[in-house]
Structure 1
Amino acid sequence: MIEKIELNRGWTLICNVAGRHDLPTEIPAKVPGCVHLDLLANRLIPDPYLDVNEITNDWVGKQDWSYRCVFDASPDAGKVRELVFDGLDTVATIALNGEELGRTSNMHRTYRFDVSERLKRGSNELVVTFRSAYAYGAEMEAHYGYRPNNYPGPGNLMRKMACNFGWDWGPTLVTAGVWKPVRLESWNQARLAETRVSTTLAGGDGRVTVRARIERQDGVGARLVASIAGISHVAELVEGSDEVEFQLTVPAPQIWWPHHLGAQPLYALRIELRDSVSDDLLDAYVKEIGFRSVRLDTAPDEHGSAFTFVINDVPLFLCGANWIPDDCFPSRVTAERYASRIEEAKKANVNLLRVWGGGIFERDEFYEACDRAGMLVWQDFLFACASYPEEEPLRSEVEAEVRDNVVRLMPHPSLIVWNGNNENIWGFDEWGWRPIIKEGESWGLGYYLDILPKLCAGLDPDRPYYPGSPYSGTMEIDPNADEHGCKHIWDVWNDVGYEVYRNYIPRFCSEFGWQAPPNWATIEESVHDAPLTPTSNGVFHHQKATQGNDKLIRGLAGHLPVPQTMDDWHFATQLNQARAIRFAIEHMRSHRAVCKGAVVWQFNDCWPVTSWAALDSAGRRKPLWYAMQQAFDPRLLTIQPHAGGLAAVAVNERTLFWRAKISGNRLRLDGTVLAEFEFWRQLCARFEAKEFPLPADIATPGNADSEVIVVQMLDRRAFHYFVEDVDLKLPQPKLSVETSPSVGGYAVKVTAETFLKDLCLMADRLDPTAVVDSMLVTLLPGESHVFQLQTANPLSAGDITIGIVLRSANDLVNAN
């Protein structure tokens, strides 16, 4: 059996930096890790996440660095000894006992070096030297020529996490280091060099296809023994061949479903490599897999062409969010943090995470957590917002990287699609790249339309591949067309208000978003300006979007008044973000017959920043998180302008039909009923959006500035206002608050004396660790709502400060 010795201890970082006499010669280092984390742990740099410290760390990414480790070994002439690096960031030279083993230039690959003849008995010295990514990038630009890139830095000229070089939500922190585990492996006779496992459904049965490549010493006979769910198969390696392929059929397995539809049963697959004579175990592959089918329907139809994911033969509307690296230093993200973030997405009724192409292929723990949670995964290949050379050496690096990661990730049932790139075809078509890229010069299209689809078809034939996001299915059609493929909506936020979302009915929207600052406690933890203002140095530095603060204020226009204080700015912009995305989601879901997915930009953050995220970098829920939870509810009731009037639209993504009375009123804000209706025993089938036109006396206001429509269907409720808040006569908020102990914290009961719109309990203003179960609650006069607050701190009603802790749109409208 293969012996694996982890080499994750005893490392030092050699700090031989010209002109930096303040640095020691070497410092203790942590592997997996990176230079920034080691310098930070040894108090040699300030925390780049705090204040404006990011800019004081620019020098780190411009230096070369070396990591050194001494380990003991006992050479054995009968064994093969290999050093295995799961991830090196990025341009590295590896030396063992002063002798160069090899060079690397790809953060996203695994590297293996045979050191059988180079190990010494006893002490061995391993040194990994990292070249500055900037220096390497300059060399590559001279080699390839300039290629347009929407962001600074040479991320498109090398295989490194592109957002390291800065993004409109991320800092410029150009890392280097051994970012994944490293180990010494020893084996004799044979090992599994590559194991490809593909699972799907074949009728009512589960089908597992195994394709394996074996590395073995001369004359060694071997066989594979595979087992799953009581089914086993033995495959002998044919003489002269080191590859084998076979299938296992599992009769009537339990089916793996996305979390909103069913359970996520996982089956243990074990593949053993055994000596064909002695039956000794030589190597083993163990993976938990699930049985489900997936296809992407892009067939022409009366609207253009579909973009519908069909899981287990069910066409779904996907409620998604984009996922970026959860930390600028990815080695810091633990399995527990992955699981916590994914659970937060699940609680927000998200059923798809799109792993975005400017980051990384996440570690195994991410996909394993998604498998367990029933969280679907859309995986971008790592090309984003730039043109990419297709010449060597980048071409071979891309091919090797794709093979590494497709083979590694393809067993996961959560993974449902490979996507070629993020916005690069769109960028070439619409962002002014055409005149910059010379005639005949490559820019990446050959990857997306040729190399990647061929690799995916050969390696992972049971999973769909799509060339890009956005992309319309052909280069003959505008890549961001409504009627075809997947669409990104970015004129909303960048140029126009969120009401413009209603101008679009895409087939599938894979990006749309609206900005807001992180939660108050996160700002206070990361910025120490006195006073805090939207434009104070630290707060402003943690806003990376071009004219981002101006867009936050411009986006309030026509919806909410311009805030005059920092507290109001913070709440108004967070509330506006929540409303914008809820508005967009409810609109798209109401057109379910045409649109089959809404994937919000973005779910998470990598550092404390004003951004499009629903969950800030500290893991705190912004109001947007609650808006997504409500708008992505598998049973949604919304009021939409359809067919020339107003309609209540019931959207049902559950497996059972939804039958209930629909009733509603047109009310004055003081609660006076002006008109009412009831539709008895209305039926919304599963996987359907059903319209119920509202009567004219409900849909037509008497006084638009002081009336509201309220529609009810069982426990779901929807509101419609005839004017925006700036013109709505919202009263001064009057309410009462009671608190009582409950499991894990307190129940906070709020009773409305006046109409209260979008009531929010800002839990982190009470306790930075507190979590509240609900937000954005609208109450009619006399109604109550109980917020469940998780906190270990003592609490009384007097702590619930109105206008600070307990907020509503009424506050903002009446503040001026």
Structure 2
Amino acid sequence: MERTTLDGTWTLEAVHGPAEAPTGRIAATVPGCAHTDLLRAGLIPHPFDGDNEAATQWIGDTVWRYRRTFEWAAPDAERHDLVADGLDTLATIELNGIVVGTTRNQHRSYRFPVGHLLRPGTNELVVTFDAPVPAAERESALHGGELPHVNHHPYNALRKNASNFGWDWGIDVATSGIWKSIGIESWSGVRIASVRPLVDLDGADGVLTAHVEVEHAGSTGAFSQAIGAAPVTSTGGDGTTGLEARITVAPHRTSATSPGSGTEPPVRIVGSRPVVDGTATVRVVVPDVAVWWPRGEGDQPLHVVRVEVGDAVWTGRVGFRTVTLDTAADADGAPFLLRVNGRPVLVRGANWIPDHAFLTEMTPERSADRIDDAVQANVNLLRVWGGGVYESADLYDRCDELGVLVWQDFLFACAAYAEEPWLADEVEAEAREAVTRLSPHPSLVVWNGNNENLVAYAEWGWRPSLVGRTWGNGYYRSLLPAIVAELDPTRPYTPGSPFSFDEYLTPNDERNGSVHIWDVWNRLDYRAYADWDPRFVAEFGFQGPPAWSTLTAVVHDEPLDPDGQEMLVHQKADQGNRKLADGMRGHLPEPASIEDWHWSAQLNQAHAIRFGMEWFRSRTPHNTGTIVWQLNDDWPVVSWSLVDHAGIRKPVWYAVRHAYQPVLLTVQPGDGSGLDLVLVNASGARVEDTVTVERVGFDGSVLAAGSFDVGAAPADAARVALPVSLAVPEDPATEVLVVSGPLGRTVHDFAEVVDQRLTPAPLTVSATATEDGARVTVTATSYARDVSVFPDRVDPAARVDDGLVSLLPGESVTFTVSGAPGVDTVALGSPLVLRHAGDLRG
């Protein structure tokens, strides 16, 4: 196989569009999109900045044409295919003036035979993209009118990244472009169209069953555009091609920090099978296999798989493990319990959205940084949400290496989807390719049919407006589970999130399966999380602004105000600022300045999420996991994220890191007015601890104390009722409960910040420069709650290693600031950089 890449320099021109569209051709880069090309040409302001989102809406209303010439000297091969890994979205492809084909799906790849159109010397390739916003509206009108959807464009009429049309955290930048690699593949004989290397365990042995599809260069049958689904013309009367599929499995230990380094002894397990009608299934057994485990449960050994058919070669990696999802009815309803290698796994998850509004701006390094953010926050599962895209190999490879589990949504979100052939044919091709492509990854443990579409039908008032029209149920209940059962039966499938795993139950029933909790944030105080007793929480979240430097880089209101024009451009949630204000009320003092509003909103987000997480986790084993909304942002915005678009960890990230500790000590309501000490064990082994619990005054005086032995089996929790002397303070406004032991420390506040008599200035600080930044040592003279350093206010490149640290008198913490050589050490101790909850009181 020889590939002639067509990536690189193209031209871009507006074929048809509003008056704002430029005339003539400009330089373009492939992979890329019209927005990024226009930015590089200086023809538009950055859509992220100020209110430029509105000023650049015309781009999504424009028909764009990409064009390039290339020199061709045909390699010695029987077949030449134009392979487009990703086109966004409705495209017409022409080679030397002849239409090669059309595409209708951003979420799949395309392959076209073009040998008969190529000519020696100069060739011209042209790709014209229909304007996505008018196209979505036109397709809706053509097929009976708009089906229900959230937000303001009918994105559900196209197989395109839904959030690209805007979301309640996302900018509306409907893109067009060649967003993945494109090139010409020249080959003879056979090519391997796809490999699905499915794994199992049989006792101590690993079992690999590789399903191999091949295509013959002499195929005369109808050519499939979908990679991995091309037919093969058999050469033998019995359907055999005279070829064998040969598979080699080499046990290989891949280091999480240095992929590809280090190998085990060179054991080679080889199997082969004849190719029949274009397919072969090869089964090999790996004796005494090193088993792949989720992070925190064991190691992540990866094995290199090599498949050969004739001269064609495919290589990939697998990890040997099993995964099941237990949803069998029990006395309390039905659980949602993942088991990996037979062991229950308590999920400490985060939802993943596209990490950049312009997908082609994503890099392997950026993807790795976000996954590292997740890992360092003790996250063990990422849910790839259904309103985005099937992510690049960078994400799944990194998760394989680090042991981060992946829950993969099929790409349907918050909308009704037509099931007629004009859309269903694309859905099937897309799903088949996605399942095949992702099947090698051991990190992938759940396929999910959709995001919130089942609950929307049941509870959002869709039924009257549908009046008998299809809305996607056939995908979630029939097509998608059938594809998973056919192509990847090693993984569980759930029809939707949330889902109760019973036809006669509402999908968002806390007693059964998975739930999404959005009454908190939308209308209730965050303490209402404790009114829920869910089996598994697949979404819940609370908003907070991004870092100060991230926000002020794009919001330029004078004076800066939460309700300023540009601030509201970067607040996409319905009545978001009102909900922020309502959410703070009763917890924090009324902010006295924009700086206090920023700190209060970030702090309240952190308090809300920690409260909810620790409550849900304290219900272990009744509750088996949570997936917080959301890990990341796709642009600079006020949102539910833990890490903002600039890669700065918000205070809530530190709250999650604490609440997601594999072994958690938390104080929760007990019987009556009492309190319980709860030990939650999400590690892979039994834990035992002797903990000290002290009721302490803000001046450091110990008012009561006790020691308690606690222990819990894996995936379980233990509760100890605290005596009244500890559970009931004499003065909630001036006392805290401190729990400490070998397994960690936690501080339980008896009162909200607004009701505590916190000292406004309880800290002394010293800072010393380092080669990469500084060390900032803070010492408390009185109780200091949620001490945090925000070095980005001094240097936007600066990062800090800790946050939300509560200190008793005499206690110290040293923050390490990095990424900012020569940073002003004095400024790091200034009032708007070094903050704590008490400074909100005046």
Shift of 1:420: 0.2
**Secondary structure in structure 2 of the residue aligned to 1:436:** helix
- Residues 164-196 of structure 1 deviation map (CA, whole Å, 9 limit, x = unaligned): 111000111000010000010011111112222
Alignment map for 1:158-307 (pairs within 5 Å): 158-218=158-218, 219=235, 221-229=242-250, 230-238=267-275, 241-274=277-310, 281=311, 283-307=312-336
**Secondary structure in structure 2 of the residue aligned to 1:346:** helix
How many residue pairs are counted as aligned between the two chains?
Answer: 803
1:76 & 1:650 partners in 2: Cα distance?
66
- Residues 374-420 of structure 1 deviation map (CA, whole Å, 9 limit, x = unaligned): 11110000000011110121011000000011100010011001000
Q: Which amino acid aligns with 1:762?
A: F
Correspondence 1:416 to 2:445:
yes
Query: Does structure 2 conserve the Cα–Cα contact (< 8 Å) formed by 1:255 and 1:290?
Result: yes
Query: Does structure 2 conserve the Cα–Cα contact (< 8 Å) formed by 1:601 and 1:612?
Result: yes
Shift of 1:86: 0.4
Query: Does structure 2 conserve the Cα–Cα contact (< 8 Å) formed by 1:223 and 1:234?
Result: no
**Secondary structure in structure 2 of the residue aligned to 1:262:** coil
**Equivalent residue, structure 2, for 1:107:** 106
2:690 & 2:77 partners in 1: Cα distance?
77
Shift of 1:437: 0.7
**Equivalent residue, structure 1, for 2:529:** 501
Change (3 A) 1:678 1:76: closer
Correspondence 1:654 to 2:683:
yes
**Secondary structure in structure 1 of the residue aligned to 2:15:** coil
Which of 358, 363, 370 is equivalent to 2:399?
Answer: 370
1:803 & 1:498 partners in 2: Cα distance?
28
**Equivalent residue, structure 2, for 1:483:** 511
1:365 & 1:285 partners in 2: Cα distance?
18
Shift of 1:797: 5.4
Shift of 1:19: 5.8
2:704 & 2:20 partners in 1: Cα distance?
79
- Residues 412-465 of structure 1 deviation map (CA, whole Å, 9 limit, x = unaligned): 0110010000000011111111111113x1111110000000010000010111
Query: Does structure 2 conserve the Cα–Cα contact (< 8 Å) formed by 1:321 and 1:350?
Result: yes
**Secondary structure in structure 1 of the residue aligned to 2:462:** coil
**Equivalent residue, structure 1, for 2:569:** 541
Shift of 1:739: 2.0
Q: Which amino acid aligns with 1:480?
A: N
Shift of 1:236: 4.4
Shift of 1:795: 4.8
Change (3 A) 1:549 1:21: closer
Alignment map for 1:783-794 (pairs within 5 Å): 783-794=811-822
- Residues 536-587 of structure 1 deviation map (CA, whole Å, 9 limit, x = unaligned): 2222210000110111010011111120201000000000001100111111
- Residues 653-675 of structure 1 deviation map (CA, whole Å, 9 limit, x = unaligned): 22333323211122222222221
**Secondary structure in structure 1 of the residue aligned to 2:596:** helix
Correspondence 1:151 to 2:151:
yes
Query: Does structure 1 conserve the Cα–Cα contact (< 8 Å) formed by 2:350 and 2:630?
Result: yes
- Residues 329-358 of structure 1 deviation map (CA, whole Å, 9 limit, x = unaligned): 111101111111111110111111100000
Shift of 1:23: 2.3
Shift of 1:718: 2.1
Shift of 1:791: 3.8
Alignment map for 1:420-569 (pairs within 5 Å): 420-439=449-468, 441-569=469-597
Correspondence 1:623 to 2:659:
no
1:403 & 1:224 partners in 2: Cα distance?
21
1:203 & 1:305 partners in 2: Cα distance?
29
Shift of 1:112: 0.3
1:505 & 1:66 partners in 2: Cα distance?
54
Correspondence 1:594 to 2:622:
yes
Query: Does structure 2 conserve the Cα–Cα contact (< 8 Å) formed by 1:759 and 1:806?
Result: yes
1:21 & 1:135 partners in 2: Cα distance?
16
1:684 & 1:596 partners in 2: Cα distance?
15
**Equivalent residue, structure 1, for 2:238:** none
2:376 & 2:443 partners in 1: Cα distance?
17
1:21 & 1:657 partners in 2: Cα distance?
65
Q: Which amino acid aligns with 1:227?
A: T
2:355 & 2:589 partners in 1: Cα distance?
34
**Equivalent residue, structure 1, for 2:706:** 677
Shift of 1:801: 3.7
Query: Does structure 1 conserve the Cα–Cα contact (< 8 Å) formed by 2:271 and 2:282?
Result: no
1:598 & 1:234 partners in 2: Cα distance?
42
Q: Which amino acid aligns with 2:325?
A: L
Which of 798, 804, 826 is equivalent to 1:798?
Answer: 826
Shift of 1:74: 2.7
2:137 & 2:775 partners in 1: Cα distance?
59
2:196 & 2:68 partners in 1: Cα distance?
33
- Residues 141-174 of structure 1 deviation map (CA, whole Å, 9 limit, x = unaligned): 1232231111211211110000111100011100
Shift of 1:77: 8.1
2:804 & 2:766 partners in 1: Cα distance?
19
Shift of 1:763: 2.0
List runs of 5+ in structure 2 lacking aligned partners: 219-234, 236-240, 251-266
Shift of 1:265: 1.2
Q: Which amino acid aligns with 2:178?
A: V
Query: Does structure 2 conserve the Cα–Cα contact (< 8 Å) formed by 1:231 and 1:248?
Result: no
Query: Does structure 1 conserve the Cα–Cα contact (< 8 Å) formed by 2:766 and 2:829?
Result: no
Q: Identity, % of aligned pairs?
A: 44
Change (3 A) 1:656 1:757: same
Query: Does structure 2 conserve the Cα–Cα contact (< 8 Å) formed by 1:342 and 1:373?
Result: no
**Equivalent residue, structure 1, for 2:63:** 64
RMSD value over aligned CA atoms?
Answer: 1.6
Further displaced range: 717-726 or 164-173: 717-726
Which of 354, 358, 379 is equivalent to 1:329?
Answer: 358
Shift of 1:78: 5.3
Query: Does structure 2 conserve the Cα–Cα contact (< 8 Å) formed by 1:701 and 1:722?
Result: yes
1:335 & 1:18 partners in 2: Cα distance?
34
1:236 & 1:751 partners in 2: Cα distance?
69
Q: Which amino acid aligns with 1:186?
A: S
Shift of 1:72: 1.8
Query: Does structure 1 conserve the Cα–Cα contact (< 8 Å) formed by 2:46 and 2:52?
Result: yes
Change (3 A) 1:238 1:612: closer
Query: Does structure 1 conserve the Cα–Cα contact (< 8 Å) formed by 2:775 and 2:815?
Result: yes
Query: Does structure 2 conserve the Cα–Cα contact (< 8 Å) formed by 1:16 and 1:25?
Result: no
Q: Which amino acid aligns with 1:694?
A: L
Shift of 1:727: 1.4
**Secondary structure in structure 2 of the residue aligned to 1:767:** coil
1:77 & 1:666 partners in 2: Cα distance?
81
Q: Which amino acid aligns with 2:280?
A: V
Shift of 1:631: 0.6
List runs of 5+ in structure 1 lacking aligned partners: 275-280
**Secondary structure in structure 1 of the residue aligned to 2:177:** coil
2:34 & 2:302 partners in 1: Cα distance?
38
Shift of 1:231: 3.4
**Secondary structure in structure 2 of the residue aligned to 1:629:** helix
Query: Does structure 2 conserve the Cα–Cα contact (< 8 Å) formed by 1:34 and 1:178?
Result: yes
Which of 696, 705, 720 is equivalent to 1:667?
Answer: 696
Further displaced range: 68-77 or 448-457: 68-77
1:154 & 1:117 partners in 2: Cα distance?
39
Shift of 1:224: 1.5
2:696 & 2:823 partners in 1: Cα distance?
36
Change (3 A) 1:407 1:672: same
**Equivalent residue, structure 2, for 1:54:** 53
Further displaced range: 203-212 or 666-675: 666-675
Change (3 A) 1:372 1:82: same
Change (3 A) 1:163 1:795: closer
Correspondence 1:720 to 2:748:
yes
